[in-house]
Amino acid sequence: METIVVTGTSSGFGRMLVHELAKSGLYSVIAAMRNSTAQNNAIKKELEELPGVKVVEMDVTSDEQVAKITAQILEEFQSIDVLINNAGVFGGGLLEAHSIQQVHRLFEVNVYAPLRLMKAVLPSMRSRQDGLIITMSSMLGFFSIPLNAVYSASKFALEGLVTGSYPELIQKGVESILVEPGSFPTELYQKAGIKADLAGVTASYDGMAEQMTTYANVKVSEALKKHQPKPEEVVTKIISLIAMEKGSRPLRNPIDQISGEAFSNQVAEELNTLARKQMAAYGF
């Protein structure tokens, strides 16, 4: 039975994914979350009641904790066959209104944490010449929009880390791929997140940030209401990727039910085509 580690399981896609993986009965599922003995304790108990699920306390921003929990999982289950880097945080606000410390905080969760988990599991995966890493990115890892520049930058960074390392890792038997959801009605947008923290700078824009935020919230809400995208479809996509044979999984897997499947696929295909052309121009 394969062992799957999922981060960020206290809400959203992570929580739903643990339920669906447990329902299949095919995997041992390690559900990692923060604050499992405090505000997330009820969710911990909920997930622990599922067959084949073990909940672990993990702060993905801690080198020490990630290393310790990874070692414990490997000792108990002998292998980590699949890592799903799902933990993440949303952010918003004017670029100038983010302190450098706030940008660091957002990157710590959205960029360094997935990289930290990858580095923790890769030695054991490489030694077995087998493993799958699925990292949750975003359609905002392709396109950056006003008030989301810092968040998009974190997802752009993830795209670069995964796409650049794919050829390195596949030669060692490890497949590392991306899933890029569009807007879905999950708790991500309701949480406080890590947002612009320099109120004085925001105020100096004479209400522009507030106007743009209100406008964007209305338009996104209208789009969600019109198209009613289902978060379950993202979970289904991830599970289907796990079931595929190594080497057959697409590197990029955008899924946006608002812009549409055809558009999402076009984005991935054109990026892959352009990347191949550029590499060919340099003789690779």
pLDDT digits (tens, 9 = 90+) for 173-232: 999 999 999 988 776 656 668 999 999 999 999 999 999 999 988 998 899 888 998 999
Side-chain half-sphere CA neighbours of 38 within 13 A: 4
The residue ranges of every structural domain in the chain are 2-281
- Please give the pLDDT value at position 186: 72
d(C-alpha 67, C-alpha 47), whole Å: 23
- Please give the pLDDT value at position 191: 66
Return the CATH superfamily for domain 2-281.
NAD(P)-binding Rossmann-like Domain (3.40.50.720)
Per the annotation, the verdict on 27 as an active-site residue is no
Low-confidence ranges of the chain (pLDDT < 70): 187-192
CA atoms 148, 115, 131, 79: torsion sign = negative
- Please give the pLDDT value at position 63: 97
d(C-alpha 229, C-alpha 227), whole Å: 6
Tell me if 175 sits within 8 A of 134, measured CB to CB. Answer: no
Contacts of 242 (CB under 8 A, 6+ apart): 4, 82, 132, 134
d(C-alpha 50, C-alpha 70), whole Å: 21
Instruction: Quote the pTM value.
Output: 0.95
Which listed residue (27, 112, 151, 205) is catalytic? 151
Helix axes 149-170, 113-128, angle to 10 degrees: 10
- Please give the pLDDT value at position 179: 97
What's the Cα-to-Cα distance from 240 to each of 47, 131, 233, rounded to whole Å?
Answer: 21, 16, 10
Cβ atoms < 10 Å from Cβ of 261: 12
Amino acid making up residue 54: K
- Please give the pLDDT value at position 192: 64
